[in-house]
Every structure is written in structure tokens, then in C-alpha cells.
Amino acid sequence: MFFHIVLERNMQLHPRHFGRSLRENIVSKLMKDVEGTCSGRHGFVVAITGIENIGKGLIRDGTGFVTFPVKYQCVVFRPFKGEILEAVVTMVNKLIPDDMEFQSGDMPNYTTSDGSVKIQKDSEVRLKIIGTRVDATEIFCIGTIKDDFLGVINDPAAA
Amino acid sequence: MSGEEEENAAELKIGDGNSFKCLIVGMSIEFLRFDQKSKAKCLMNCEVALILEHKYEQLQQTSDDPMNQVSQVFEKSLQYVKRFSRYKNPDAVRQVREILSRYQLAEFELCVLGNLCPETVEEAIAMVPSIKSKGRAHDDEAIEKMLNDLSLIKKFE
Amino acid sequence: MPLRRRDEDDDEMEPEDDEEYGEEGEQQALDDEELEAEEEEEEEEEEVETRRGGSSRKRRRSDFIDDVAEEDDEEEEDDDDDEDDYGGGGRRGGGGGGGGRRNKKPSGSQFFDLEAEVDSDDEEEDEDGEDDFIDRDVVAEEDDHRRMHRRPLLPREDDQEDVEALERRIQQRYARSSHTEYDEETTDVDQQALLPSVRDPKLWMVKCAIGKEREVAACLMQKFIDKGSELQIKSVVALDHLKNYIYIEADKEAHAKEACKGLRNIYAQKVMLVPIREMTEVLSVESKAIDLSRDTWVRMKIGTYKGDLAKVVDVDNVRQRVTVKLIPRIDLQALANKLEGREVVKKKAFVPPPRFMNIDEARELHIRVERRRDPMTGDYFENIGGMLFKDGFLYKTVSMKSISAQNIKPTFDELEKFRKPGENGDGDIASLSTLFANRKKGHFMKGDAVIVVKGDLKNLKGWVEKVEEDNVHIRPEMKGLPKTLAVHEKELCKYFEPGNHVKVVSGTQEGSTGMVVKVEQHVLIILSDTTKEHIRVFADDVVESSEVTTGVTRIGDYELHDLVLLDNMSFGVIIRVESEAFQVLKGVTDRPEASLVKLREIKCKLDKKTSVQDRFKNTVSVKDVVRIVDGPCRGKQGPVEHIYKGVLFVYDRHHLEHAGFICAKSQSCVIVGGSRGNGDRNGDSYSRLSHLRTPSHIPQSPKRFPRGGPPIDSRGRNRGGRGHDGSTGATVKICKGPFKGYRGRVKEIKGQTVRIELESQMKVVTGKSTFDRSCVSDNLAVTTPYRDTSRYGMGSETPMHPSRTPLHPYMTPMRDPGATPIHDGMRTPMRDRAWNPYTPMSPPRDNWEDGNPASWGTSPQYQPGSPPSRPYEAPTPGSGWANTPGGNYSEAGTPRDSSSAYANAPSPYLPSTPGGQPMTPNSASYLPGTPGGQPMTPGTGGLDVMSPVIGGENDGPWFIPDILVNIRRSGEESVGVIREVLADGSCRVVLGSSGGGDMVVVLPVEMEVVVPRKNDRIKIMGGALRGSTGKLIGVDGTDGIVKVDDTLDVKILDLAILAKLA
């Protein structure tokens, strides 16, 4: 699920960035540093939406770099165990088929025995996350489509 | 230890018959903690889509090649939320939140409903089991009405 | 050799009979066997026979003899099955001496060969043959007693004449064994009753000739048969594993001696009594009978197929033989040659690869293939040269001794192969359950999720509570069942759910980690973290773990799980190796802190082998198992992997975070299994005392704690500049070097050096903080001018004792170290941001300092050993503490509880511990005691623990009406309900859990909040929701999950601020 959240980060800035555009420099550096990262705790930082406050800078001994504590708002994506969400199939690999059969070929897919449902690349499925592995820098999830109202919601082949 | 945790998790899932059960059914402790500690606000995909598109437009104004400016996560997220947004129109998005918030839903319940737009009461309950909680007197009728409202927004979008 | 001769005769005369009765007797004996799986029983069986001997003398005799005769059969089969080649050779060899008998019945040489095989230890059986040929007589003789050995334990019912007697006997035996069958369920008491008592006959150990044990026993039996009750012995036991002795059961030594009279090979001069306690051991069997049943996976122990996986298709318990099917290793060409009588070129050490038998191929080679129907099963077998094939598998009947069934773990490859033709595999996978039948002990651990796979409770899930011997006590998942159930280990299988993150701990995939995506009975399909491919493993081989392994486990000189020093002088254990960086669990103890570290940020690997002392002053070194008794990870337990600066890195596989590593102060740990007695008592008590002290300091360092910074980390922080605000400006005392004893104000901290403005000289000096930085930090944290501890001594370890002294006045006795200070102990410190501001300045401390300046000036007893500890104690004014309601918190504290430790403590302290009276400044008396204790007590443990409490409690008085408290005063403990909190912090409490008793006024230090459990009604004692009530609907570590009554919100709150509602 996506969240809007306030995070804080200490930004170190070289003195050359000081001046009138200091704030802009801080913000753009923040975006560069933060957007697209993933922390296990907060998930993927998708986009910074605003700056709440930039604290007083502290000059670092020896280097001249200045550290600014920055509070910023951002949109994060963080999956949770138990969450139901919709997703696009990006890859079909041969993982233990259950009630569906794996069809290899140009467009590998899983098909039910009666052929009515097919899961292939670009299919949209609704799934429930049953496990997550959260590291400092990555989040892995596994999900299931075996539950009520889960499964393929849109078949690109049919469309 | 793991057993203990397991049990708690199970407890959370199965519950013990009170409204708590429903409140966090389907969501893990992990979520609760995240939710509470980070004071995060849940967003619906359609809201995220608006936010990201807005941001993307901003970028377009300042740079020729905005796609180069954004992270892969941004790009993918944008694609994702565009694809899975039930509502495109900003007004509609606002209405969805407004309408759903009338039903005393938890943030995440609201978002899951707004994202998945269940069509039937059963589906809604399957998606967000917690809405059918004793404590909050969501009977099928109320849920039905809520779903109706949602689909109306969609219709008039 | 008269005996021997008779055997042979019997063989000659009634081989057919032998077979026939075999059928029937077999059946019965088989049942018998089932009932009495234990060899022990069988032994007894024999004894019984002996006793009964008098009545059915004749039968017993022939029994005894026939028995041996039958053995011959078996051995022959053994030969045939086990090694064709050598069998042939043996026959040829036997031909020399055995003559015409050979064909009819196995000859001595057969025995000989068999023995040779045994002797040669399974290795060279291919080679023996003529070379080893020994004169037949010798063979026979040797054979004779060997056979005694090999004699099946179970007596055979082979006398068909006396069927009725036989029936009777079997019935008798059934009755007997049905008895034993219930053994499993008998209570301990019943078991006790079966143990021998003084009134029972005794067991005498009698010496006999080596190798003749069985023979001697048999002779005694014979003698008993002949003489009947004249012989006053009860039984004779010869144990396979005990050479040179037999046991005779008799009431008197004389009886045993009498019985031995006139027998060869027995030396009755020396008869030893087996002590009653050891009697049972004599007759217990060490190797458990294995559960061999159809579909069990086994491995061949000898022969061509040595090591091969086989599946049992039939078990003949009577003959101790099993029929197994395996993938043949047959060189068809060689077979064809052999069958056609061509010379077989003996290739040594060539074992054909396993391959399914292709009958057509065999026919092409002109091998004669007979298709025969097995009369018993009705199945068709292809018979090639005496070998039976079906579906490409070889069916082979072998002796039970030649297979091993214990701990067979077929790999998936093997199983895949096995399911090859015709089978869809379901059956095989299903039969995996048999794998569990013979697995290792000690397999389950507390907390494991398990599922019952056999029996009435099948599919019941639960968690392991306790493991004892074969039985595992599980806490079932289902409601309405008893709290714990005892389930046999073999009926359990570990249980995982899709989504679990697991680590494979044995088998071919050992070491991989991944998430469970599917559970197929006992087989898990795991999505590997490393390869993102799925792997199949047995549930048994897997444990739940948060550890993630990638393919790489090292970069440069650093490897997973190494302890490394980082360039900001912090240290930690590598818990994960990523493509270009390490994830390191920092050596900070108040909360787990993991960070990503690049290779270049690592200074060096630390692999010093040091040891530290635990809470009770026991030495802890690497690999010792410790239990963490306080701090956020309280309750965890595991081996120490690294020790550095008083910080232990403990590995607990049940800890799902940080690859199972937990960082804890040595003082927060107790060694498990180590003796506590070996620490000197003084030390012991001191250490405890010092613990007392520690908590008090907490409130005092407000700057430090808010960041949750652990002491160790401080250096890093200083370096990083983050600590500046906290430390600059602090007043410190220099404890070494030319300025030793001076006080001053910290002007600047830069890396390792500190600039201090000396109070007396108005000049600024620079000191190097080569000494322990935790000391420094602590001092830094202290803002009160009084307790300036000199830190900038050069490398001095001794800096702060001054600091320690102050606290003792306060030594609020109630916070005893030994007892877990906080009541639920788990308060993770970082939670509370707010630090009690009011404490630091407690006046008493000042007094103290002024009063005994000398005391801190020199710290003679100060041991450099545990520098970190000092800082801790130092600043603790404690006074603030005591007054704050939080004080009560440290429930443990009341000296009364920690009786033993206290009692031993020589420190004058003891008497002065008034419990309620924090202010008693009996510093003087106390002082002497302190130094000794100090070094070892970093006290930090206490610190962590306490800190949160305080934080929580800032919001107001801790206690709150209507909550349940435990009151401890005057040595007794009672429960009460707080009715009113008085201005001075004490409370009016109504005794009794429902509040029906007397009203008393209780000091905060005398009571402690009753920790709520799940589903209890609670009241929130701190934070924004203070005063609200709710229900505790779950506990997760140190967090309570609370449904608040008013709002119905579910909140996660620190357990420490929750109290059980009366």
C-alpha cells in the first residue's frame, strides 16, 4: 500500500552549494538521494512531495561540510503481509503449478485445466501477500491467488 | 519465540470474537506498528496517481527529459497506479475518500476498498474482513450502500 | 562338538519341515515380535524359557537345536544374496572339505565365508574366497560358538508336535507382552514399581571365557532343563556387547556359584553383585529397535549396493530379513557372460552404475529371463539368474543387519529416480512420512510449529512446549483441547506456512534461505533468496529464520558472521553479505541497530579470543551458551559468537531478526549450564550491588538517552559530531596524567581528543581520549558540575569512580540487580524519548561528593577490566530515581527478594538498605564495598531496562488508581488494588485481588504493577492515553496490543505502561 509519510534525513552539503539557492540545492539533493531507495522500515520511497522543515545546519569538523536535518513528506510504498493488492504479471516462470498447468513456449503461461483462465505476462491479478522479507534495502513478497476473489482480473489475451 | 509470535499472528488473523479481530484481520502486526509509529497516512492508488502525475508534470516543465529525472521506482509506481486506479478524475478521487470516510473506516480499509472497488458485499468482506465488525455495525446493507456510492462515483466520473 | 553334529543331522533330515513350520511359527512369532519390539524383552523371553524349561523339557531341547539349524538356512541365503561372486568362491572352497553335503545344505565353508565377511568389515567381501579358505574343522569349531552369537534372540516355535503347548505359551506371552505394550502410557510411578527392589533376586556378574558368553548361557539353560528346580537361579543373561561376563539372576551368590559348578568356560570363583540401581541398565538396550515397516527407506550397508537407497517391500521379523527393492547395479554383459559359463573377468572395485533393468535388453544378450508369479503376492517378477526384477527394480531379500534404517535421508535426486517407471510419485512422497520414523532425536525445539502427521490427532497444529525423550509436548492450536498434549516424536512434523522465511539447516540444500511458497505434506517448496528459484526440502530440515544468505559469504577478508571494527570505531557482526556491502549488526546493546557498511568502512576484523564475566561473575567465552536476562532481548538464549568490549554477540536461531544475532552486554547475560558457584562470593555480591546502582544513573543523562545511544556507540557519535551538543560543556574530571584530578568543562571534542577548560587554572588543555570511550561519554552526558570525572587521562581506565560513589547513598536497595529490574524487563529503551529531567541534580549526591572527595580521587581497587561499566554507574545520582515513582518499578529491587545474593554480600550496604528509603546517605559504610564490585558491573543492563520506564513515566505519576499491584513488604507478598495515589507517591491500597481487604498505605518501592497478560483488562499508566482502560489483546515482544475502550482503537503500547485492571 502507498503511504504518505514524514521522514527525516540529515543532509550533508558542500559549502559550494550555499547561497541563495541553498534550499533548492538541499531539496534536489534530497530527491536524488532518497527517491527510489528502499528501506526495510518504510518501504520504497517513491516521491518526495514536500519539505516540512530544514533545521539548522551544523558544520562538520574538519571537512567544512554542513549537515542539515531535513524533514520531508513523501509517498512510500510498503507491502504488508495480509494485504490484498492488484498486480501485473511481469514474468512467468516455472514454479510449482497447483491446479494450473504451466505451458512453456513463446508466451509461457499457466492455464487451468479447462483452459478458461490463463495467467501470462501482463495479466493483471489480484493477490494477497502471504509473506514478506524485509531487509535494509529490499522488500520481497510472495503472494497467493488462492482465496476468494483473488486471481486473474484481466486477461490481456482476451482483451 | 516463533511459536509465540505465530500465535499472536494467528490471533490477529482469527481473532477471538471481538471487534479487534475484525479491525486488523488481514493485516499483520507489522502493519499496525508501521501505521502507528510512522504516523503514516494510507493512500489510494488513485491518489498516488494524482500526486505522481502532478510531480511528473512539474518535472516536465523544468526538464526536457523528465523520465531521466525520476527514479525507476517512481516510474514503475506511476505506471502501476495509473493502471490500477479506478478513478482518474481528481474530483472523483476526492469524492471517493469523502464518501468512504463517512463509514468510519480505518485508513487502510478505506484505501483497500478504494483500490479494489469490490462489486459485491461478499467481495468487500473478503477483501477487508474487518469492515464486517460487530463494533462498527456495518451490516451488509451499509456495506452495500457504500459500494453503491462508490460505483456511482465511477459512473459519473 | 556333539552339538554341532546334531545340528547337521537335523538339517539333513528335516529341511522341509523346517520350512513348513516356519510359516506358521513365523506368523506367530511375527506378532510376537511386534508386541515386543525391544530386544530386552526378548532377552527376558529367553529367561522365561529357562525357567519354564522343566515343564516342557523335551520341546525346549529341540527348540534350542533347531534354532541353530535354521540359522544355517539364513546364512546360506545371506551368502547368496549378499555376494554372488564370493558365494561362488566360497562354495568352491567348501567343496574341498564339505564334500557332497554342500548342495543339500550349507556347509561349514558357507559359515566360514559368512564369518569372513563379517570379519572383513564389509570391505573386502569381494575378494575373499579360496584365499581365505580354512580347514573345515576349524571352521566348524569356530562356527560353533559364533553361532551362539548370531543366534536370533527370539526363540522359535518349531516343534510342530506340541502345538497346543505352543499355543499356550504364546498366549501366555501375549498376556505378558500386552503388559509391556502399555508401558508407554504407564505413569512414572508404575514404572518405578517395576524396578527391582531389595526383595527381588539379585543379579550376579560371573566371569566366563571371552566369546563363550552365549554358549555359557546356553549351557546353564541346558543345565536348568536337566536339573529343574534344583538349580536355584532365575535366569541367565549374556549380552552381546559385554564380553567375558554373563549375568545370573539368583537370590544368593551361592546359588549362582552352584549353578556354575561343573561347567566349562565359566569362572565362578569371582561373582560380583550388580547394585540394584544398575540392574535396569544391564538389561536396557542401547540401540533402539528400529521401526522397519513396508515403505521405509533404508540404505544398504554392504555389498555392491552399499550406500544405495532401498525401499522395504516386505519384512520378515522372524528371520530378521527384509525384502527391499532397489535400483539394480548390474552389468548385463558381465551377467550374460557369467550365465553362459564364460570366464568372468573379475574387475576389482568396479561397481556398475545404478540403472533400471531393461528386460528386453537382457533378452538381446540371450540372458534367460523367466517370468514367474509370486505365489504369495500374485505379482509377476522377472527372474534372471536367481535375481528378481519388477518394473526395472531389483527385489532382494537381505538380512536386517545388512541394511540401516536409522536416519535415512534420501535426497530428492534419489527419490526422483526411485519413482521413475510407472509410479507417479505420490506414493513415494507419501511414504516420506516413514522418514520421520527413524530420524534423530532432539529434533524439535521449543517454539517450533508442528503438525501431527499420524494418529488420532492427525493434522492438529501446535507449538512445541517441551521435548522429553520421545515425547514432545505441544500446545495445540485448537481451542478446547488440553493446554499441552504429549505426542510421540514420530507423529510430528515441523509445520510451516507459506510466507514463512526459513533456513535450511540440513540436507543438500543446507544453508540456503528463502520463503516458503508451498507446503506439500512434509515437503516444502522454498523460493530461495539467493537464486529466486524454488527448492524442495523436507520440513524437517528447515528452521524458521530471518537470515538471508546470498551466494557470496565474503568480500575481501571479511566473511559473514565476522566481528569487525568499523572506521568510526564502532563494531559489529556481519549479518549479511551483499554484492558490495555488508550488513552489520552494531555492537550496541539497548536496541538492535543494523547498518549497511561498505568494505572500505571496515577497519579490521576482530578475532580476539577474550572472555568476560556474566552477571554472576562467571567467565563467559566464545561458544558458551548464555541467556539474556534483561534488555530488549531478554529471554533469548544461544551461544556467544563474539565478545568485544564487554558486549556479547549471541546467536539465537529463534531470533528472527539480524540473522539470529543479538547484541547484549555481558552483564545482561547469564551463562547457561555453567556453575554459578565458582565465582567468588564477594564478587558475586558486589556485582549485584553494583547493579543496584546502575539504574539510578539513568535519569541523569538526559542528553544521551533521547537518542537511544548506547554507551558503546558513543564514540562513534562523538566522531560523527552528533554527540557534540551532549558532551561539550559538560564538566568532567581528568583521571590520569599531569592534570589528573582537575576538573574542567569540555570545550570541544574532536575525534579522540577532547579540549577541556580547567576550572582552577583557567586554561585549556587537550587530552586524548584513548581510554575507554564509554567512560567518556558517560561523563559527557553528565552535566552536573559536581561529578566531573576526569576522563581525559591517557588511556586510563580508571576514570570515574568518583562517579560511582555518589550513588550509593541512594542505592535504592530496591532495585536489585539480580532480580530483573523492570518488571517485564523488556522495555526497549529507545522508546521513551523523554528523559526525566528532574533527576540529575539530586542534592544528596553533591553532599556526598563534597564529603568524600578523596574517595574518588584515587581509585585503587579499580580494575581496568571493565571500563564501560564505570561510566554507567558514575553519574547515577539515583536519588532522583528513588523518588520518582519509577523507583518502584524496579520491583526486583527490594533487597528482600534477592535474598541470597544479598545475604552473601559483605558490603555494609546491606543493612542500610531500607528499601523505601532511598535517601539514606550511609555512604561511608557503603563505600568500601563498592570498588570491588564496580569493575565488573557495567550496570548497563540495568540501564537499558530501566530507562524506558522512566520515560514512560514522565507523564505523571506512575501509579494510578484501580490497578492491581503486587505488594512486597516485610518479606511477604500480597496483591492489592490501588485506590488512591497520595501526593508523596505512595498509594492507598486495598489488599486482595478484588480489593476486598484492608486498606494500607504502600510506598511505591514496595509495590509493583501486575503485568497484564493477554486478554486482561488493562489500564494505561503513561503516555497520551494515560488513564484509559482497554483490553490487552495481544503481546508482541515488549509491545502490548491494546484495544482502547473509548475509541475501540487498537494501539501498540509498551507493556511497561500497562497495568492489569483490578
Q: Do residues B79 and B95 share a domain?
A: no
Q: Which domain holds residue B114?
A: 90-156
Cα B28 to Cα B34: distance, rounded to the nearest angstrom: 10
| Interchain CB contact of C1051 with B (< 8 Å) | yes
Contacts of B123 in chain A (CB under 8 A): 148-149
pLDDT of residue B35: 58
Of A3, A36, A85, the CB nearest to B42: A3
Instruction: Tell me what the mean pLDDT of segment C1021-1027 comes to.
Output: 79
Residue identified by cell 530496591 is C814
pLDDT of residue C34: 44
Reported ipTM: the value is 0.84
Per-domain residue ranges of chain A: 2-77, 84-154
Question: Which set of grid coordinates corresponds to residue C982?
Answer: 497520595
Contacts of B107 in chain C (CB under 8 A): none
Pick the residue with more confidence: C586 or A103?
C586
Beta-strand ranges (E) seen in C821-904 are none
Chain B residue nearest residue C544, CA to CA: B2
C-beta atoms of C1050 and B24 within 8 A: yes
Q: One fold for both A2-77 and A84-154?
A: no
| Interchain CB contact of B39 with A (< 8 Å) | yes
Instruction: Tell me what the mean pLDDT of segment C883-902 comes to.
Output: 37
The CATH number of C196-283 is: 3.30.70.940
Chain A residue nearest residue B119, CA to CA: A149
Its pTM stands at 0.43
% of chain C with per-residue pLDDT over 90 = 0
Per-domain residue ranges of chain C: 2-181, 196-283, 297-428, 429-544, 554-671, 681-953, 964-1060
Pick the residue with more confidence: C447 or C713?
C447
Q: CB of C452 within 8 A of CB of C491?
A: yes
Q: Do residues B53 and B71 share a domain?
A: yes
What confidence tens digit (pLDDT) does each residue in C973-1014 have?
788 888 888 777 778 888 877 767 778 888 777 777 888 887
Question: Which set of grid coordinates corresponds to residue C230?
Answer: 534344583
pLDDT of residue A71: 92
| Interchain CB contact of B67 with A (< 8 Å) | no
pLDDT of residue A70: 93
Instruction: Tell me what the mean pLDDT of segment C909-933 comes to.
Output: 38
Q: One fold for both C429-544 and C964-1060?
A: yes
Of A82, A147, A148, the CB nearest to B31: A82
Q: Which of B80-94, C611-625, C670-684, C954-968 has the lowest average pLDDT?
A: C670-684
pLDDT bracket for residue A67 (50, 70, 90): very high
pLDDT of residue C308: 83
B8 vs chain C: nearest CA distance in angstroms?
A: 6
Domain A2-77 architecture: 2-Layer Sandwich (3.30)
What confidence tens digit (pLDDT) does each residue in A6-62 have?
889 998 888 888 888 888 889 888 988 888 888 877 888 998 888 999 998 898 888
Please identify, among B19, B53, B83, the residue that sits at the C-terminal boundary of a domain.
B83
C-beta atoms of A82 and B26 within 8 A: yes
C-beta atoms of A98 and C583 within 8 A: no
Cα C502 to Cα C526: distance, rounded to the nearest angstrom: 8
C-beta atoms of B20 and C464 within 8 A: no
pLDDT of residue A68: 92
pLDDT of residue C498: 81
pLDDT of residue A156: 60
C-beta atoms of A82 and B38 within 8 A: no
| Interchain CB contact of B37 with A (< 8 Å) | no
C-beta atoms of A83 and B26 within 8 A: yes
DSSP C474-508: EEESSTTS-S-EEEEGGGEEE---TT-EEEE-SST
pLDDT of residue C654: 59
C-beta atoms of C498 and A136 within 8 A: no
Q: Which of C129-133, C566-570, C929-933, C1048-1052 has the lowest average pLDDT?
A: C929-933
What CATH code is carried by the domain that includes residue B125? 1.20.1250.40
pLDDT of residue C207: 86
Q: What angle do CA C42, C46, C51 make, to 5 degrees?
A: 140
Q: Do residues B27 and B72 share a domain?
A: no
pLDDT of residue C792: 39
What confidence tens digit (pLDDT) does each residue in B31-58 have?
655 655 567 788 899 989 998 888 888 8
pLDDT bracket for residue B61 (50, 70, 90): confident
Burial class (CB in 10 A: 0-12, 13-18, 19+), C501: buried
Q: Is the dihedral of CA C742, C745, C747, C750 positive or negative?
A: positive
Check pLDDT > 70 for residue C908.
Answer: no
C-beta atoms of A149 and B41 within 8 A: no
Number of structural domains, chain B? 3
Mutation for A interface: B75, B78, B127, B147, most A CBs within 10 A:
B127
pLDDT of residue C516: 86
Mean pLDDT of chain C: 62
pLDDT bracket for residue C566 (50, 70, 90): confident
Check pLDDT > 80 for residue C963.
Answer: yes
What confidence tens digit (pLDDT) does each residue in C828-860 have?
343 333 344 343 333 333 334 333 433 343 333
Going by their DSSP bridges, the two strands C625-628 and C619-621 should be labelled as: unpaired
C-beta atoms of B4 and C654 within 8 A: no
Q: Which of C236-240, C364-368, C454-458, C912-916 has the lowest average pLDDT?
A: C912-916
CATH class of domain segment(s) C964-1060: mainly beta
Q: Is the dihedral of CA A122, A126, A127, A128 positive or negative?
A: positive
What confidence tens digit (pLDDT) does each residue in C53-83 have?
444 444 444 444 444 444 444 444 444 444 4
C-beta atoms of B43 and A4 within 8 A: yes
**Overall fold of domain C429-544:** SH3 type barrels. (2.30.30)
Contacts of B112 in chain A (CB under 8 A): 1, 83-84
Q: Do residues B32 and B70 share a domain?
A: no
**Which residues, 6 or more positions from C32, have their beta carbon under 8 angstroms from its beta carbon?**
C154, C170, C173, C174, C177
What confidence tens digit (pLDDT) does each residue in C488-509 have?
877 788 888 888 888 887 766 6
Chain A residue nearest residue B74, CA to CA: A46
Residue identified by cell 557519535 is C717
Of A3, A5, A46, the CB nearest to B73: A46
Cα C529 to Cα C531: distance, rounded to the nearest angstrom: 6
Instruction: Tell me what the mean pLDDT of segment C239-258 comes to.
Output: 83
pLDDT of residue C605: 83
C765 vs chain A: nearest CA distance in angstroms?
A: 19
Q: Classify C24 as helix, strand or coil.
A: helix
Instruction: Tell me what the mean pLDDT of segment C535-551 comes to.
Output: 72
Cα C777 to Cα B2: distance, rounded to the nearest angstrom: 37
Selection from B79-88, C133-142, C348-357, C863-872 with the highest mean pLDDT: B79-88
| Residue of A109, A136, B61 lying closest to C595 (CA atoms) | A136
Check pLDDT > 70 for residue C872.
Answer: no
**Overall fold of domain A84-154:** OB fold (Dihydrolipoamide Acetyltransferase, E2P) (2.40.50)
Chain A residue nearest residue B31, CA to CA: A80
| Interchain CB contact of C75 with B (< 8 Å) | no
Q: CB of C543 within 8 A of CB of C449?
A: no
Check pLDDT > 50 for residue C795.
Answer: no
| Residue of C817, C968, C966 lying closest to C893 (CA atoms) | C817
Q: Which amino acid does the sequence have at C945?
A: V
Pick the residue with more confidence: B29 or C677?
B29
Cα C282 to Cα C247: distance, rounded to the nearest angstrom: 9
Instruction: Tell me what the mean pLDDT of segment A94-99 comes to.
Output: 62
C-beta atoms of B18 and C1031 within 8 A: yes
pLDDT of residue C733: 66
What confidence tens digit (pLDDT) does each residue in C299-329 have?
888 777 888 888 888 887 777 788 888 888 8
